[in-house]
Structure 1
Amino acid sequence: MTDHALHLLAHRAGLQVDWTDANGCQQRVTDTVLRKMLAGLGHPADTPSAIEASLSALLKAHDAKHLPPLLTADLGQPLDLSNYFAAGSPCQVTLEDMHEQSLQLDAQAMLPGTLPIGYHQVTITGRAFTLAVAPARCYNLADALGTDTPRCWGLSAQLYSLRRPGDGGFGDCLALEALARSAAERGADALAISPVHAMFASDTERYSPYSPSSRLFLNSVYASPSVIFGERAVRLANEVIGQAELQQLEDLPLIDWPRAAKAKQRLFEALYRDFIHQEHPQYTDFMSFREAGGQALEHHCRFEALLETAAQRGMEADWRNWPKTWHNPYSAEVAAFAEQHADRVTYHAFCQWLIARGLERAQDAARSNGMSVGLISDLAIGADGVGSQAWSRQDELLAGFSIGAPPDRLNRAGQKWGLCAFSPEGLRRNGFRAFIEMLRASFQHAGGLRIDHVLGLQRLWLIPLDGEAGDGAYLHYPLDDLLRLLSLESVRHKAIVLGEDLGTIPEGLSEKLAARAILGLRVLQFEQHGHGQFKPILDWPDDALATSSTHDLPPLAGWLQARDIDWNQRLGLIDAISERHWRETRAKECTGLLSILEQNYHQSLPDSDAIIDACVRFIGHTRSPLVLLPLEDALGIDEQPNLPGTVSGHPNWRRRFAVNADTLLDDPDAARRLELLAQAREQAFERDQ
């Protein structure tokens, strides 16, 4: 009975006891792991009496009469409220536009599906809740392009890899703006960029864009302050840093993140001192930005100031080990700290203002030059548990767990990413506040959103912080609620949604994503029926974007040369047997790719440049509504931005292009491939009309 009760508790807490791994094998989470997972979720299960008490508490929390602060519904569909209200109850609805409506629950206690999309306040028998009415699907490419058969294309870029004179050692918003203009002139409709989430301003050793401090705010080092203050003011401020150091940083073949980020912050400090002590023409705009940011922005800026002070006092960077009085962002002690350090809090708000205005300009440049979508932002799957978002939204994030992946045949140790996830129970308790505000932040300066590991909308593999990757379990999320909120915010912001769906996809999820017009991801290297048997062009789906590679994979030139295998061998990540098998498989795959390309285009492909050209045409001819070509493949570069499974040894997130962003696409290889892609997309459109 104890095992049954434990498994029942796990089920009600959202944990999946039995699951199928990537190899199709049935697995079961051990009772030891379940007890630890449940304890971390706030449901003690170490004894039979503890299990009974936790079950009772969960039942009470999920009691049918416990009305949550927010419910979701689909446009035109009635909402079943029989768990909360009696049939025939009168309803008073205050619509989002403040108009009032009087409704009545029907004989089955269903709320009529007559309300428009939006967030509405509903009061029934004195009890109130917010109702989020969602459209049937997200804003999609057909909406953006005004055609039922969208066959558009765009580029994907690692923002930091871009280059411009005076950038200080890594790409920034001005470089992005230049690339957006150049791509738009060549017919691109979209430009997908690496994540620009807020990092840790006082810890420049952290620079992986997928391990942010907060997904609500931005990485200010990407700001280009000259767009606000002018070149002369920036030049004078840079004299504080020293032009020689800046030039040295710009000339480096790889980004020196600690030095370059610190130099950028010294520039911001110098500009801020003049800005705050003078009546600058943009001061009113800054104050409006800060007011619009509200409590969330204030909390983030306070966290940054606390982090600085903690470092100065020799304290750990992990807020969970700070003095207890600093743990609660709403505490009187934190408010007093903010008052004492008001200048530092304001400085961090100033930095957020700089980067927000820079991204806004880049998106405006993309759209005004003809892109139908413009920038596509990238939403990381989680946030660092020691960061701003975890501190400010403690009831809604699970800072005691790390997201990862269970062991499988390809990675026998499993993966532990060091990121914390949302708490399903915390989201419900707080009306999905943290999820909604994150979506709004991500859509704010973009025409599209790529959701990393979109499978996490349904379930995530979570691991206790002190456990190994295999000592975890899948935690389930309220998928339908999250998809409705995503659809609503997508339509509100007129932004498309892409979902990175590589990996083991839970049954039925692909269909739900497609029904919501969330494009999946299909990568040329993976689109095979078997090793070397690549899928024909017309076998590619029309509900996913097509691409030649991703930031975690080798570009086409590197794949053809097996550069990724070379790196894994050099760093000791694979043994000799695995290496031999991998190389044999790759050789078979290269032969298969060459075969299908030559069959399609009736020509021999004598070298890698010709093969890459054909690959670009091939994905361009698919039925995908959107093709994204990484800049690395446009240029024929053979090194990848990130090598998964490594922290050192490989220069992750540090590679830069040799040519400036405004002329990057003038490269003969890039120019030829973009023309080939544009032609292929036109041909695909004509074929599929």
Structure 2
Amino acid sequence: MTAAVSHDVLQELAGHFGIATEFTDWLGEHREVSDDTLISVLGALDVDASTDELARAALDDLGNRRWRQVVPPTVVTRVGSSTEVLVHVPAGASVQLSVELEEGGRVELEQLEHFVDAHDVNGLAVGEAKFAVPASIPAGWHAIVATLDGAEISPEARVALDVTERRQRGASEPIVEARGTLISAPDASSFDVPEPVWGLMAQLYQARSSRSWGLGDLGDLRTLGEWGAEHEADFVLVNPFHAPSPVTPLEPSPYLPTTRRFLDPSLISIDDLVASEPVSQEVGQRLAELATFCRQNHTRDVIDRDGTWLAKREALALCFDAARHGDDGRWHAFGAFCELEGQGLIDFATWAALCEQLGGNWRDWPEEYRSPNNEAVDVFRQEHAERVEFYCWVQFVLRDQGAAAQQRLRDAGMRIGVMHDLAVGVHPSGADAWSLVDSLARGVSVGAPPDQYNQLGQNWSQPPLRPDALERLGYEPLRDVLRAAFAGAGALRIDHILGLFRLWWVPEGRDASEGTYVTYNHEAMIGALLLEAERAGALVIGEDLGVVSELTRQVMAERHVYGTQIMWFEFEEDGSPKRPEHYRTECLATVTTHDLPPTAGFLELRHVDIRDQLGLLTRPIEEERAAEQELVDAYRQQLVEEGRISNDATTEEVVLALHERMAASEARLFGVSLADMAGDRRPINQPGTFREYPNWTLPLADADGNVLLLDQILRSNIATSVVESAKRAR
């Protein structure tokens, strides 16, 4: 079947949708994308190119698509800059264009001279007009509205074009309208870091204290942050806080959540909740029993997410009942929160309640429950209104405790405070995949092509947002994700910021290396990001590691989006380790990251041993070990030459020296891992694996593998030594 499809037609179709037909791999070699991959990716965008006839028909349809749109579904501009908009109407018809401002008011747009021949759309002659969007439009999510005279628009034209009708009192003809979204974004980030600062980095679930319920929570974030502030830290970078499934077994990876719009209930500090929602003595006794159950796992060498969540879910239900009969002011605040979050929150809470009844994978549910728009789902929502309300209230508590934690860190002296982490995508069987059915591509998943550290490529099992759907919906799905991510944060790290420019789509059933890049409208994606960052008063950091296009780095620099540099990945042109003075200024620099072992483990080549044991190497173990040892030796030699260590320095001494060296870099932000403060050796994640390695489930431990709680780490000499070596010259 594939052989019958014209290669040239496939290439042209792919070009219309921003699908790469060729690319350069991490070794600098040119690669052609197979026709099979192109057909699969086009299919994920609802373009059937499985036969030559269908592919040519799809190509013909694309030729008329923009002429059927009276206004573009999305127009993007920058504050202080003007832009132009093309409008399509039946030839000879009059049209007015205006902008409805988000905060109220209306701006009429000037029509410009513009002469083009009419275009035939299935027998309808369609003309084109041009309008100017002035530079004075303020930042915001606005509507762009085309108004046509109903008397001039035939019934056939109303069918052919994307318009709606509305009646005005006393008018003989309806007003015919077409609407789109106007995103007016800041030209660049206005958040300034005037001098070098340092901060902590933690997978918060690992940061369990003696008062925790089995997992590090927002109370522990406050403890860690306030301790850091006492040592001149200005931020705490945490793992993504996105929600997992409400039913066990839970997906352990914080980078594979069920939704990016709502938060993980396990983050709630029950002690803090009880302080704001007093409970009866009987309930208090049950909460104490549940806390004891969770804390008995603190010495085990595994993080028990399932047990912790089941205990916390019972505790939260008890607190919810108390809240419903408690303080009226708090309950009214909850009502205001629900109104602000709207249908998205209700859908998520409904999905969670459905999961409790039908299981965690909505794709296995009866057909009538597989869409939030189905009548059966509405009936279920009404019949289980109290449980839906419970899951809405849980999100209210999370948002409240998150905002309180951020305020405490700022009050303690941190300039930034909490730095949230935004995952690339969501689980295919989760809440967003259920509710955003029109926005996510099916039959493909997001991943990464082969690179130096993942030589087989990566498949992250996440359905990507469709670029065409984002344009059609005015980037509302992205806006909602960003708005949630900035809540309670002074900064946001965007995991794999390349995804705002292009993503590696892998067709189902294919190896990760058999995917291709799909391009996104980066002007709109970055514009939405900066607009929401401006409203939150927050800094933006992009994780721009791996195979990165020049365009990505150029746009990030132009718009003051900070980048990311990991010491082990940075080299001078001659191949030697990058010197501190050559790091980018607008950058978050770190010695290690969550996808590598802690620094001590890297120095001892733990990552090589793990990848060898798991069969992830593409060259003999001897070659891999020699190459990585050469890198470690190069850093040790530099440290010796700089007088920071002796030739026979211990692993611990090298760790401190590396932090001291990186603290002197040009990067405005320097992140220090809590795992390094513990003296841990074990990576929390091994990319390219699923269950072959205990990803995201290992607690923090010392050099000998003894499990450590947050209290112990913060009292330790090694933690004090590491943070002292990390302090920046100001």
Query: Is the shorter-chain TM-score for this pair beyond 0.5, marking a shared fold?
Result: yes
Distance of 1:242 and 1:257 partners within structure 2: 14
Contact 2:187 2:559 in 1 (8 A): yes
Q: Which residue of 2 aligns with 1:305?
A: 353
Residue type of the alignment partner of 1:676:
S
- Superposition pairs of residues 40-55 of structure 1, within 5 angstroms: 40-55=44-59
- Report SS of the residue matched to 2:581: helix
Q: Which residue of 2 aligns with 1:638?
A: 681
Alignment counterpart, residue 104 of structure 1, candidates 95, 101, 110: 110
Deviation at 1:73, TM superposition (A): 0.2
Deviation at 1:67, TM superposition (A): 1.9
Alignment counterpart, residue 670 of structure 1, candidates 700, 704, 719: 719
Contact 1:612 1:636 in 2 (8 A): no
Residue type of the alignment partner of 2:284:
L
CA 1:289–1:310: 2 relative to 1, 3 Å:
same
CA 1:243–1:264: 2 relative to 1, 3 Å:
closer
Deviation at 1:329, TM superposition (A): 1.0
In the alignment, structure 2 segments of 5+ residues that lack a partner are: 115-130, 149-177, 701-706
CA 1:50–1:247: 2 relative to 1, 3 Å:
same
Structure 1 runs of 4+ aligned residues shifted over 6 Å read: 85-89
Residue type of the alignment partner of 1:227:
D
Alignment counterpart, residue 640 of structure 2, candidates 590, 594, 598: 598
Comparing 664-673 and 379-388, the one that deviates more: 664-673
Matched, 1:4 2:8: yes
Q: Which residue of 2 aligns with 1:203?
A: 248
Q: Which residue of 2 aligns with 1:560?
A: 603
Q: Which residue of 1 aligns with 2:340?
A: 292
Matched, 1:193 2:193: no
Contact 1:552 1:642 in 2 (8 A): yes
Contact 1:557 1:637 in 2 (8 A): yes
Alignment counterpart, residue 404 of structure 2, candidates 340, 343, 361: 361
Alignment counterpart, residue 79 of structure 2, candidates 75, 81, 87: 75
Residue type of the alignment partner of 2:99:
V
Distance of 2:582 and 2:270 partners within structure 1: 47
Contact 2:40 2:443 in 1 (8 A): no
Q: Which residue of 1 aligns with 2:204?
A: 159
Residue type of the alignment partner of 1:414:
G
Q: Which residue of 2 aligns with 1:482?
A: 525
Matched, 1:23 2:39: no
Alignment counterpart, residue 62 of structure 1, candidates 66, 69, 81: 66
Distance of 2:379 and 2:337 partners within structure 1: 23
Structure 1 residues 232-276: Cα deviation after superposition (integer angstroms, max 9, x where no partner): 849726458556523322332321222222222222223233433
Contact 1:221 1:355 in 2 (8 A): no
Contact 2:242 2:264 in 1 (8 A): yes
CA 1:289–1:112: 2 relative to 1, 3 Å:
closer
Q: Which residue of 2 aligns with 1:93?
A: 99
Deviation at 1:521, TM superposition (A): 0.8
- Superposition pairs of residues 495-514 of structure 1, within 5 angstroms: 495-514=538-557
- Report SS of the residue matched to 1:226: helix
Deviation at 1:197, TM superposition (A): 0.2
Structure 1 residues 200-222: Cα deviation after superposition (integer angstroms, max 9, x where no partner): 01133312100000000001111
Distance of 2:45 and 2:109 partners within structure 1: 39
Distance of 1:251 and 1:289 partners within structure 2: 38
TM-score, with length taken from structure 1: 0.91
Comparing 627-636 and 462-471, the one that deviates more: 462-471
- Superposition pairs of residues 425-440 of structure 1, within 5 angstroms: 425-440=468-483
Alignment counterpart, residue 442 of structure 1, candidates 482, 485, 488: 485
Deviation at 1:540, TM superposition (A): 1.4
Residue type of the alignment partner of 2:304:
D
Q: Which residue of 2 aligns with 1:179?
A: 224
Matched, 1:339 2:382: yes
| Aligned residues with identical type, % of pairs | 30
Structure 1 residues 622-642: Cα deviation after superposition (integer angstroms, max 9, x where no partner): 111111111122333222211
Distance of 2:212 and 2:73 partners within structure 1: 47
CA 1:240–1:603: 2 relative to 1, 3 Å:
closer
Deviation at 1:90, TM superposition (A): 5.8
Q: Which residue of 2 aligns with 1:423?
A: 466
Distance of 2:108 and 2:689 partners within structure 1: 59
Distance of 2:409 and 2:60 partners within structure 1: 55
Q: Which residue of 2 aligns with 1:526?
A: 569
RMSD: 2.5
Deviation at 1:151, TM superposition (A): 0.9
Residue type of the alignment partner of 2:720:
A
Deviation at 1:103, TM superposition (A): 4.2
Q: Which residue of 1 aligns with 2:620?
A: 578
- Report SS of the residue matched to 1:404: strand
Comparing 331-340 and 669-678, the one that deviates more: 669-678
TM-score, with length taken from structure 2: 0.86
Contact 1:502 1:521 in 2 (8 A): yes
Residue type of the alignment partner of 1:165:
S
Contact 1:204 1:261 in 2 (8 A): no
Comparing 452-461 and 113-122, the one that deviates more: 113-122
Deviation at 1:285, TM superposition (A): 2.4
Matched, 1:273 2:307: no
Contact 2:494 2:541 in 1 (8 A): yes
Alignment counterpart, residue 697 of structure 2, candidates 651, 654, 679: 654
CA 1:621–1:12: 2 relative to 1, 3 Å:
same
Distance of 1:488 and 1:224 partners within structure 2: 31
Residue type of the alignment partner of 1:593:
Y
Residue type of the alignment partner of 2:184:
V
Q: Which residue of 1 aligns with 2:160?
A: none
CA 1:139–1:655: 2 relative to 1, 3 Å:
farther
Residue type of the alignment partner of 1:112:
P
CA 1:432–1:297: 2 relative to 1, 3 Å:
same
CA 1:174–1:52: 2 relative to 1, 3 Å:
same
Q: Which residue of 1 aligns with 2:189?
A: 138
Q: Which residue of 2 aligns with 1:589?
A: 631
Distance of 2:419 and 2:292 partners within structure 1: 35
Distance of 2:54 and 2:582 partners within structure 1: 54
Contact 2:210 2:711 in 1 (8 A): no
Matched, 1:39 2:43: yes
Contact 1:79 1:110 in 2 (8 A): yes
Contact 1:255 1:654 in 2 (8 A): yes
Residue type of the alignment partner of 1:43:
V
Higher relative contact order (CA 8 A, sep 6+): 1
CA 1:411–1:552: 2 relative to 1, 3 Å:
closer
Structure 1 residues 95-143: Cα deviation after superposition (integer angstroms, max 9, x where no partner): 333244444244464322122222233334444433221111123333x
- Report SS of the residue matched to 1:267: helix
Deviation at 1:337, TM superposition (A): 0.9
Contact 2:363 2:429 in 1 (8 A): yes
Distance of 1:103 and 1:67 partners within structure 2: 13
Q: Which residue of 1 aligns with 2:166?
A: none
CA 1:244–1:372: 2 relative to 1, 3 Å:
closer
Count of matched residue pairs: 669
Matched, 1:612 2:618: no
Distance of 1:106 and 1:79 partners within structure 2: 12
Alignment counterpart, residue 249 of structure 1, candidates 267, 289, 297: 297
Structure 1 residues 520-562: Cα deviation after superposition (integer angstroms, max 9, x where no partner): 1111111123897211221212132110110000111001111
Distance of 2:412 and 2:290 partners within structure 1: 36
Comparing 376-385 and 462-471, the one that deviates more: 462-471
Distance of 1:93 and 1:470 partners within structure 2: 45
CA 1:583–1:56: 2 relative to 1, 3 Å:
same
Q: Which structure has the larger Rg over C-alpha atoms? A: 2
CA 1:677–1:412: 2 relative to 1, 3 Å:
closer
Comparing 615-624 and 591-600, the one that deviates more: 591-600
Deviation at 1:466, TM superposition (A): 3.1
Structure 1 residues 591-611: Cα deviation after superposition (integer angstroms, max 9, x where no partner): 210121222346526222221
Distance of 1:451 and 1:359 partners within structure 2: 19
CA 1:48–1:137: 2 relative to 1, 3 Å:
same
